[in-house]
Structure 1
Amino acid sequence: MFEKLKQLFADVDDASMEKMTLELVTAALLLEVSKADFQEDPAEIDKIRDILVQHFSVSLGDINAFIDEARSTASDSTSLYPFTRYINDNCNNIEKYQLVVALWEVALEDGRIDKYEDHLIRKISDLIYLPHSEFIRAKLSVMGNT
């Protein structure tokens, strides 16, 4: 019985991982940060659009549909695990650092870093095994640019 349950959960997990892409995972995590302070600021959403267009193959014409897809993916998920697992399986430390920089950029876009945003970024950094010194370096680099 337990083997059947394990297989059922493994099949569901594998199916959700198959549709994941780095762009989608990044967008979902950026959106999670944007709503961590219980306010989805339009400036933060614009920053997410900029990041996705600049760093990924998302075109300006497709960006709104892509963000809607990322929102749907994030709302369907019950945890950060599928996203952080994808990052751990597919990214090196430099890419993880760049992701955390992008998370800080979104959090700071409204002019302040809320304690919930800080907590969520710290949690994501821990889950992707980014060294704490790199987490701090990413935060300081973004705060130094404002």
Structure 2
Amino acid sequence: MFADFIKRLTDPAPDTLPDGDARLALTALLVRIARSDNVYSPAEKARISQIVEHRYALAPADRDALLADAEGLEAEAPDTVRFTRAIKDAVAYDDRLAVVEAMWKVVLADGTRAKEEDALLRLVTNLLGISDMDSNQARKRVEG
């Protein structure tokens, strides 16, 4: 189902993603962060739902459809390095920075910072072209 989308995303010279595709890719990245510690908790799923509903001004049915599609895409997406680099090449910097903040919200949603989540978030942040300082500031905004 997502094969064509993944192929377009991982093309050596991807075009900027249309808004709907960018939403899907970025939401799938949030799901990947949540699943990185092998526990996709109801709190993490609820936080992702809240983030995408608010960020994209979605009705509940549209939010749920986006999340379901993102969960499917995440399961089929290539390794995190290729997937994240593809997002970097196809999504504007400001959107990627906002996603780093959203990733921190997901990591902190269940009240526990698992080492797997921290490690993946550091890797993803770097691959998205976001500095450690910007990521740290995003985390502080979320915690504050």
- TM-score with structure 2 setting the length: 0.80
> Partner residue of 2:90?
89
1:62 Cα shift? Answer: 2.2
- Whether the 8 Å CA contact 1:25–1:83 is kept in 2: the answer is no
The within-5 A match list for 1:86-125 is 86-92=87-93, 94-125=94-125
Q: Which residue of 2 aligns with 1:70?
A: 70
- Sequence identity percentage: 21
CA distance, structure 2, for counterparts of residue 72 and residue 16 of structure 1: 17
Aligned partner letter, 2:105: E
Alignment correspondent of 2:138 = 138
Give how far 1:57 is off: 4.5
The corresponding residue for 1:8 is none
Q: TM-score, normalised by structure 1?
A: 0.79
State which structure, 1 or 2, has the greater radius of gyration over its C-alpha atoms.
1
Indicate the residue corresponding to 1:13 in structure 2: 7
The list of structure 1 runs, each at least 4 consecutive aligned residues, that deviate by more than 3 angstroms after superposition, is 15-20
Question: How many Å separate the matches in 2 of 1:28 and 1:48?
Answer: 10
Superposed CA RMSD in Å reads 2.2
**Aligned partners of 2:32 and 2:125: how far apart in 1?**
14
Which 5+ residue runs of structure 2 have no aligned equivalent?
Answer: 1-5, 12-16
Q: Contact (CA 8 Å) 1:22, 1:87: kept in 2 or not?
A: no
Q: Aligned partner of 1:69: which letter? A: D
